[in-house]
Amino acid sequence: MKTATIGYPRVGTLRELKFASEKYFEGVLSKAELQDTAVLLRKTHWQMHINNGIDFIPSNDFSFYDNMLDTAVLLNVVPKRYSSLQLDPLEEYFAMARGYQGLNGDVKALVMKKWFNTNYHYIVPEIEDDTEISLVGTKPFDEFLEAKKMGIVSKPVIIGAFTFLKLARFTGNKTAIDFTKDIIVAYSEMLKKFNDLGAEWIQFDEPALIMDLTADDIALLKKIYGEILLAKDSTKLLLQSYFGDLRDCYQEVTTLPFDGIGLDFIEGNHSLELVKHFGFPADKTLFAGVVNGKNIWRNNYSQTLLILNELKKTRATIVLNTSCSLLHVPYTIKNEGFLTDEFKKHFAFAEEKMGELADLKKITASNTPAEITEYIKNTRLFQESRFCTDVSVQAAVSSLTPEDFVRHPAFHKREKIQKAVYNLPLLPTTTIGSFPQTAEVKAKRSVFKNGKITAKHYIKFNKEKIAECVALQEKIGLDVLVHGEFERNDMVEYFGECLNGFLFTQKAWVQSYGTRCVKPPIIWGDISRSQAMTVDYIVYAQSLTKKYMKGMLTGPVTILNWSFPREDISLQECALQIALAIRQEVLELEANGIKIIQIDEAALREKLPLRKSDWHCEYLDWAITAFRLVHSGVKAETQIHTHMCYSEFSDIIKDIDEMDADVITFEASRSDLVIIDVLNRCGFKTAVGPGVYDIHSPRIPGTEEIKEAILKMLKKIPREKLWVNPDCGLKTRGNAETIPSLQNLVDAAQEVRRSLQL
């Protein structure tokens, strides 16, 4: 069996692309220097594939920001507000990704959304009525030729036409169907061009096919590929799915004349069943996603062989593949100096996963796989005990009763009590928690972590930052203050470091969006809290002001979803363990006089199963209850806030209300406040703070712009329920844009209060 990967990380083992891009944005690095970094990274990644003997090596998986954005540019899907800036192509590309504020104009960034059920974010292409989709770009061809120069006939990877149209946003009256003719022409030309360049295979990524599909979707799929496939010459076409199974279109896909079909046997719960039930055409190649592209635990070879043995029965050619792009895992375990081999041997990051593919190739080639050294070693690993249980934690979870998940008194009673206690102005202003993580803050943490300064020195520094932050917020005139989160490297990793049961890494970076990366902690064992994690800093921050200081925590579902989870216990069990630990922190904050506590559940929507039928049974029932467990023990007057980064929750609005928080803040500005209508229609009880400006972009929103957003919200949301805040935390921003943006926010809220005589 041959081996393949769907795509590879691109940010660089030491985040070279991040640093080069950020220097380019600052004007410190030239375009040519940025391109040099990109060339070197691509070369390195291809070489890694060669070193591991991978047969199908991807190209065009590289991106300066995001592959959906790359595809939009390739297809001439550039909204006029960007093309009219008259920037050079790379600048125009970054203007779409990050917004632009400069000599040529002032434009917001395109909408950014979660990439399926991952912590990666894509840029949403915007198709206007007069957009002319056509193949205008050259990136995939250039990168194919670049690989060819290294002697590699790579497998170009392109977002497929179906997924592109399904994820795009149509801003006028036209819909996907009005653009199919043009997109078919563009993709057919692409096929021809690759054929001329000598590509043996081309991979069209179609993750949208694993979602619930309507009859119209299936008709669209058949139309698109029925025609694109007519343009096929000798270059073979691989339809690659991932993040689930093709249960709604398996027969259509296997009937179309693709040369290869990529199926996910990790997240695709029905994939094996579909193959067994309907068969798989013996004349096609089955790219079998058997190595997990999302989690970092080692592959269990004996279990994988069971799947492969079933697949062999189809008599199709089988290629050993990852379940999705390796973009979602870190580069290599080799760089982890702090983890001992006892731990490391259980993990496989991107590079090690290629090693696993190579092992499986060797094992499957043998008539006596059980005698192959790699197989024996792997079997032993899975027989070993991992010493990761804590019986007291397990007992605490199993003794939970339904009453532990209910907060008293009920919402409306609490609302009245809190109104009387807090005496906040209408439209209270606040922020989401973090303030700019400046170079100074990161450098101080770095020297602390490297043992060059003492804990005492580090804590003193953080307290100085907190004091500055509190003074700044008072000066600006915000109503509810935050401590700024200067002590946190990340809102999840920080808690992972404080809690028992987690492992953390040094260089295991994974791209989240653009130049932003995260280092997800690893859930190794049962989770517990042995000491307070935030209380000292929050209590200190509260001591500096008469205003309310929000305690700031990350919720159990988000900690779980943004970590690498265990595979030996259920996600529900793990979420409840974390919930019990965070609950203790909530109660300790309350006992220390903190009246308002925010428990971020930024990632709650993210892991909602991609198919509606699985929402409740597989997720919401335990995710919402885990959150409720965290705050059900507080007093009526303690105000619980939560925050979600994305407003993509119209369809689970009742469940969000069921979280029973007192206030929820969320992203709304980058998605045109659509969510506000939904809140209005469904009689949402929780008070809301829909973000009035986008923090993912460096542009400074004007007071008028923010006033407009507030007034628009007030048309749909009762004034007693509306909070005014940015979209998300300010950690990625600099002080230069944060201070004027927040001042404009406060000025806007005050002007609205005056104008409406609130």
Ligand X SMILES: CN1c2c(nc(N)[nH]c2=O)NC[C@@H]1CNc1ccc(C(=O)N[C@@H](CCC(=O)N[C@@H](CCC(=O)N[C@@H](CCC(=O)O)C(=O)O)C(=O)O)C(=O)O)cc1
Ligand Y SMILES: N[C@@H](CCS)C(=O)O
Q: Which residues bind Zn ion (CB under 5 A)?
A: 602, 645, 728
Residue 443 sits in the site that holds ligand X (CB under 6 A):
yes
> Long-range contact list for 606-611, CB < 8 A, 24+ apart?
606/114, 606/117, 606/118, 606/119, 606/561, 606/646, 607/117, 607/557, 607/561, 608/117, 608/652, 609/117, 610/116, 610/117, 610/210, 610/211, 610/243, 610/244, 611/210, 611/211, 611/212, 611/244
Measured from the CB atom, the residue of 96 and 645 that comes closer to Zn ion is 645
Is residue 170 helix, strand or coil? strand
Nearest to 624 by CA among 605, 609, 640, 610: 605
Residue 605 sits in the site that holds ligand Y (CB under 6 A):
no
Query: Does 246 show up as a binding residue in the annotation?
Result: no
- 305's CB contacts (< 8 A; 6+ apart) are 363, 364, 369
Residue ranges in 343-362 that form contacts with ligand Y under rule CB under 6 A = none
Contact 486, 469 (CB under 8 A): yes
Cross-strand partners of 511: 517
In this chain, which of 199, 354, 518, 560 binds ligand X, going by CB under 6 A?
518
Q: How far apart are CA 111 and CA 646, in angstroms?
A: 11
Query: Does 433 show up as a binding residue in the annotation?
Result: yes
Other beta carbons within 10 angstroms of residue 233's beta carbon come to 10
Is residue 120 helix, strand or coil? coil
In this chain, which of 284, 519, 583, 643 binds ligand X, going by CB under 6 A?
519
Report what 732 binds from Zn ion, ligand Y, ligand X, none; CB cut-off 5-8 Å by kind: ligand X
Give the contact letters, 203-242, x = binds to ligand X (CB under 6 A), - = no: ----------------------------------------
Measured from the CB atom, the residue of 205 and 493 that comes closer to ligand X is 493
Cross-strand partners of 102: 105
Helices H / strands E in the chain, number of each: 29, 24
**412 is annotated as an active-site residue:** no
Query: Does 667 show up as a binding residue in the annotation?
Result: yes
* Minimum separation from the CB atom of position 731 to ligand Y (A): 5
Residue ranges in 539-578 that form contacts with ligand X under rule CB under 6 A = 562
Which amino acid, 46? W
Which amino acid, 381? L
Report what 433 binds from ligand Y, Zn ion, ligand X, none; CB cut-off 5-8 Å by kind: ligand Y
DSSP for 182-215 reads: HHHHHHHHHHHHHHHHT-SEEEEE-GGGGS---H
Report what 519 binds from Zn ion, ligand Y, ligand X, none; CB cut-off 5-8 Å by kind: ligand X
Residue 20 sits in the site that holds ligand X (CB under 6 A):
no
Residue 620 sits in the site that holds ligand X (CB under 6 A):
no
Q: Residues 343, 346, 351, 357: what is their CA dihedral angle, to the nearest 10 degrees? A: 160
Q: How far apart are CA 318 and CA 578, in angstroms?
A: 41
Residue count at the site for ligand X (CB under 6 A)? Answer: 23
In this chain, which of 350, 478, 539, 645 binds ligand Y, going by CB under 6 A?
645
Residue ranges in 112-131 that form contacts with ligand X under rule CB under 6 A = 119
Helix (H) or strand (E) holding 476: helix 455-476
* Minimum separation from the CB atom of position 495 to ligand X (A): 10
Residue 745 sits in the site that holds ligand Y (CB under 6 A):
no
Residue ranges in 533-592 that form contacts with ligand Y under rule CB under 6 A = 552
Residue ranges in 715-734 that form contacts with ligand X under rule CB under 6 A = 728, 731-732
Residue 254 sits in the site that holds ligand Y (CB under 6 A):
no
Q: How far apart are CA 315 and CA 508, in angstroms?
A: 39
Longest dimension (CA), the chain: 83
Measured from the CB atom, the residue of 418 and 732 that comes closer to ligand X is 732
* Minimum separation from the CB atom of position 701 to Zn ion (A): 17
Residue 432 sits in the site that holds ligand Y (CB under 6 A):
yes
* Minimum separation from the CB atom of position 676 to ligand Y (A): 20
Residue 139 sits in the site that holds ligand X (CB under 6 A):
no
* Minimum separation from the CB atom of position 496 to ligand X (A): 10
Query: Does 114 show up as a binding residue in the annotation?
Result: yes
Contact 268, 244 (CB under 8 A): yes
Q: How far apart are CA 618 and CA 405, in angstroms?
A: 19
- Residue number of the CB closest to ligand Y reads 729
Residue 363 sits in the site that holds ligand Y (CB under 6 A):
no
- Token pair 């070489």 is at which residue? 47
Is the C-alpha dihedral spanning 6, 11, 13, 16 positive or negative?
positive
Report what 205 binds from Zn ion, ligand X, ligand Y, none; CB cut-off 5-8 Å by kind: none
Which bin fits 438, alpha (ψ -120 to 50), beta or left (φ > 0)?
Answer: beta
Residue ranges in 628-657 that form contacts with ligand X under rule CB under 6 A = 645
* Minimum separation from the CB atom of position 656 to ligand X (A): 17
Nearest to 204 by CA among 264, 160, 153, 253: 160
Residue 492 sits in the site that holds ligand X (CB under 6 A):
yes
Q: How far apart are CA 393 and CA 307, in angstroms?
A: 35
In this chain, which of 113, 353, 643, 733 binds ligand Y, going by CB under 6 A?
643
Q: How far apart are CA 58 and CA 404, in angstroms?
A: 50
Query: Does 607 show up as a binding residue in the annotation?
Result: no
Measured from the CB atom, the residue of 331 and 435 that comes closer to ligand Y is 435
Residue count at the site for ligand Y (CB under 6 A)? Answer: 13
Residues annotated within a binding site for L-methionine: 432-434, 485, 600
Residues annotated within a binding site: 15-18, 114, 119, 432-434, 485, 516-517, 562, 600, 606, 643, 645, 667, 728
| Interface residue list for ligand Y (CB under 6 A) | 432-434, 485, 491, 552, 600, 602, 643, 645, 728-729, 731
Give the residue numbers annotated as catalytic, written as ranges.
Answer: 696
Residues annotated within a binding site for 5-methyltetrahydropteroyltri-L-glutamate: 15-18, 114, 119, 516-517, 562, 606
